[in-house]
């Protein structure tokens, strides 16, 4: 799970560009506005809330887990956050075995 120190609450829009794979800060600004994420001017820098960027970035993967694993999407999302590929693989294999057995019966 994400956890931030007080100093890490904000993210520079240049870093947002890297996260969303774009080169132009104007694209990051449009993405933030479209997502409802506020942009804050600090001198010559434009920053926003790291938490909100993380939430918006993870919406698609959460939607995927909810549709594919409706009963265990929270666990699958936690495995994703922890980057636990081995446990994810084991969980998905167990689900496949359980589904196959229930189809046979």
pLDDT, one tens digit per residue, over 13-70 is 999 999 999 999 999 999 999 999 999 999 999 999 999 999 999 999 999 999 999 9
Position 8 scores a pLDDT of: 86
**64-102 pLDDT per residue, tens:** 999 999 999 999 999 999 999 999 999 888 766 555 545
Strands 10-12 and 45-49: antiparallel
Instruction: Decide if pLDDT at 103 tops 80.
Output: no
Position 7 scores a pLDDT of: 66
Q: Under a CB-based contact definition with an 8 Å cutoff, are residues 49 and 10 in contact?
A: yes
**Predicted TM-score of the model (pTM):** 0.73
Position 70 scores a pLDDT of: 93
Position 94 scores a pLDDT of: 76
Position 95 scores a pLDDT of: 66
**Is the Cα dihedral 21, 26, 31, 35 positive or negative?**
positive
Position 52 scores a pLDDT of: 97
Report the C-alpha gap between 45 and 93 in whole angstroms. Answer: 47
């Amino acid at each position: 799970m994400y956890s931030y120190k007080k100093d890490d609450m904000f993210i520079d829009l240049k870093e947002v560009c890297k996260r969303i794979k774009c080169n132009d800060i104007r694209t990051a600004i449009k993405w933030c506005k479209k997502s409802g994420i506020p942009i804050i001017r600090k001198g010559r820098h434009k920053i926003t809330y790291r938490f909100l960027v993380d939430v918006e970035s993870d919406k698609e993967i959460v939607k995927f887990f909810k549709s594919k694993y409706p009963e265990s999407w929270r666990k699958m999302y936690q495995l994703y956050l922890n980057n636990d590929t081995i446990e994810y693989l084991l969980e998905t294999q167990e689900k496949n075995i359980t589904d196959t057995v229930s189809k046979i019966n």
